[in-house]
Amino acid sequence: MIEAYLFYFFAVTTVLLAVTVVVQPNPIGAAVSLVGTFFSLAALFVLLHAHFVAIMQIILYAGAIMVLFIFVIMLLNLEPEKVKLRTIAGNRLVQGSAALYLAGVIALAFFGWRQFFTQGVVANEMEGTIEAVGKLLLTDYLVPFEMTSVLLLVAIIGAVILARKPVE
Amino acid sequence: MLSSYFPIAVLFIFALILGGVFVGLSAWIGRRPYNKVRLEPYECGLEPADSPRKRFSVKFFMVAMVFLLFDVEVTLLFPWATLFKQFIASGLGVFIFIEGLLFIAVLVIGWLYVVRKGALKWE
Amino acid sequence: MELIIAAIKAIVIVALILQLIPVLIWFERKGSAYIQDRRGPNRAQILGIRLGGMIHNLADVVKLFCKQDIIPTKASRIIYVVAPMIAIFVASATVGVVPFAEPLHLGGLTIPMQVADLNIGILYILGIGSLGVYGVMLGGWSSNNSYSLLGTLRASAQMVSYEIAMGLALIGLFLVTGTVRITEIVSQQTGFHWYAFTQPIAFVLFLTSLFAETNRNPFDLAEGESELVAGFHTEYSSMKFALFFMAEYAHIAVGSLIVSLLFFGGWNLPGLDFDWIRVYPEAALSMGLPALAVGAIAFGLFLCSKFRRHKYNDARDYEVLIFGVPHVLIGFLMIGATLLLHGTTLPTWVGPVLVAALQMGVVLAKTLFFCAFFIWVRWTLPRFRYDQLMDLGWKGMIPVALFNIVITSAWLVFVH
């Protein structure tokens, strides 16, 4: 029972912080709210007994990706007053497709995956430990594991090329 | 399992309160600044020569980017290292060794590329 | 019931780490003074008691609370206020999974001597520790000061660079341990099987990156006084500055704890057999207490012999007596306790509690040694240049760490 209350608490926190990210005029403030969002997402993962994923969420998203974001914001020097609030109010196509997507997700949640809501999925307590996740990753998902390193290699090369000095 | 996270929650709340209390108390007890000049940015007593809000070297961005990519690789290696002995015990030692070696080899190629291109060179 | 114990324990352990901060500051001031052939702080006093400069910490706290609380006009106010809170939050939350002793079994109750025994173990420390960069980044950026911004950029680039080396060093360790739980890692290091000896490369890499993570000399370019005034906290005053300061020392304390647990055997000490002590506390006490008593009396008498009535002509003359006489008295009390103990059987809870206290003592002694090491290094080594620092991180430590991983895993597979 307490888990349900905790879930609602962290779910509401996550959504509120995510909304703050969008409405915040100060880009650094938005980035800080995003760190908070990732943090409460990690708490949600813990509630699902996904311990390793939760700590990955904190190490990678909150600890690494957001550092990069803040560096970029500082690099571009976006001052709050310089940022013009651009809204997508006029663009019917964007509005319509976003609404359609949201409606589709909600409909799918209600009709397609109904049994998950009524019965609930009981997560195995030992499923999310570092040993269990590692065993799956290193045996059943061996090829994706190795491919990740290749993907990251591509990303490293891309980053170096993007930031290199233009050749004269 | 979940109850083992309860003390962590207590710890977080306590740590947050700690910071809040210290900041609040010093704002409450501390003297009010009575001199407008004190609130100017500190630049050794001179008028600020330059605004800090300007662009800085792209090198720092480069470091953050490469850090992010290597961090992903390091976190993926944690389960590999933790399970290494278990795999050896079940007779799969060479398999897991080669698996990790391949992963690290690709990591080393990326590292060599970064170093060779001078992306992390500081003049 | 267990939840209440857990909550109290969490707060006690954080308080313990916070208590280490003034001790470390005193260490630093006195240590730097003696390294530079000075006397160090010795003025602040309460009724003439100076505690060799300890009272200065108390004076500092009172002073910092009463200072003008400055928020620069050009600063981003909210982030400026939040940044030091993040710093102290991260510093005190990292202690979450650090054990101080083996779990204590009392009757039917098992009390782990740590805040929480998580499955992810030391990864928790890495995760929370990686958030420490935000305190520095946001604090420096929000002050809107050129020095702060430069200090911030340097500090955060340096912290993230060395995080990679730290992670890779730990991977080398995990290969040997096969677990990420600190309690298990410590229990593997009985006798002299300390991982500092079996994984020396990982140990050196970890210690070095710890220095860089805490922004300490020789890696303290973030606040190179000669170039950047005070680095990222140039604009901070009063307790907000103190929070950054405290966070630095809390990081040193927690970092030393982790080093002593992971690489220096934690509560294991060759010659101390805890299982034996747990079963026969009477024998252990009747052997240990007299030795302690002799030490205490000798130390007390040594202090008392330093007493000169007219050395300073003020209360300082009696300081040695204030410390010396209680030592002698405690020594005699210990001898009395040993005599009383003779032939009696102690209740069953004495053994486990005694073991827990001993283990905590060993861990804290090792931790204080590494804290002293941090201070010793700071006042001995000169500062790096920034390009040397980044080169060491990226081109020196990362390849060595990868080499260590490959060698260790190959050794485990083919030789072991």
State residue A37's pLDDT score.
Answer: 92
**C131 in contact with chain A, both atoms CB, cutoff 8 A:** yes
Q: How far apart are CA C154 and CA A164, in angstroms?
A: 20
The chain A residue lying nearest B121, using CA atoms, is: A164
Prediction ipTM score: 0.86
DSSP state, residue C110: E
pLDDT mean over B28-41: 73
Task: Check whether A88 has a pLDDT greater than 60.
Answer: no
Compute the nearest-CA separation of B47 from chain A (Å): 22
Compute the nearest-CA separation of A87 from chain B (Å): 26
Q: How far apart are CA C416 and CA C411, in angstroms?
A: 6
Summarize pLDDT for C104-162 with one digit per residue, the tens.
Answer: 777 777 777 777 778 788 888 888 888 888 888 888 888 887 788 888 888 888 888 88
Q: How far apart are CA C70 and CA C83, in angstroms?
A: 14
**A55 in contact with chain C, both atoms CB, cutoff 8 A:** yes
CB–CB of C120 and A26 under 8 A? no
Nearest-Å Rg of the Cα atoms of chain C is 24
Q: Is residue B66 part of a domain?
A: yes
Longest Cα–Cα distance in chain B: 74
CB–CB of B79 and A130 under 8 A? yes
State residue A14's pLDDT score.
Answer: 92
Among C79, C130, C409, the strongest candidate for a mutation testing the A interface, having the largest count of A CBs within 10 A, is C130
**B77 in contact with chain A, both atoms CB, cutoff 8 A:** no
Fold of the CATH domain A1-86: Four Helix Bundle (Hemerythrin (Met), subunit A) (1.20.120)
Give every residue of chain C whose pLDDT is below 50, as ranges: none
Task: Check whether A120 has a pLDDT greater than 60.
Answer: no
Give how many domains chain B has, as a whole number: 1
Residue boundaries of the structural domains of chain A: 1-86, 88-124, 129-168
Q: Is residue B123 part of a domain?
A: no
Across chain B, what does the average pLDDT equal?
80
Residues 235-294 of chain C with CB under 8 A from chain A are: none
State residue A16's pLDDT score.
Answer: 92
The chain C residue lying nearest A70, using CA atoms, is: C137
pLDDT mean over A132-148: 84
CB–CB of C120 and A29 under 8 A? no
Is residue C139 within 8 A of residue C83, CB to CB? The reply is yes
Is residue C84 within 8 A of residue B23, CB to CB? The reply is yes
pLDDT band at A12 (very low <50, low <70, confident <90, very high): very high
CB–CB of A130 and C142 under 8 A? no
**C407 in contact with chain B, both atoms CB, cutoff 8 A:** no
Compute the nearest-CA separation of B70 from chain C (Å): 7
CB–CB of C130 and A64 under 8 A? yes
Summarize pLDDT for C255-284 with one digit per residue, the tens.
Answer: 999 999 888 888 888 777 777 777 777 777
State residue A82's pLDDT score.
Answer: 53
Q: Is residue B122 part of a domain?
A: no
Identify the CATH number of the domain in which residue B75 sits.
1.20.58.1610
Residue closest to C91 by CA, chosen among C252, C263, C257: C252
The total number of residues written for chain B in this structure = 123
Q: Which domain holds residue B19?
A: 2-116
Helix then strand then coil, in percent of chain C rounded to 5, is 70, 0, 25
Q: Is residue B67 part of a domain?
A: yes
Q: Is residue B94 part of a domain?
A: yes
Q: Is residue B65 part of a domain?
A: yes
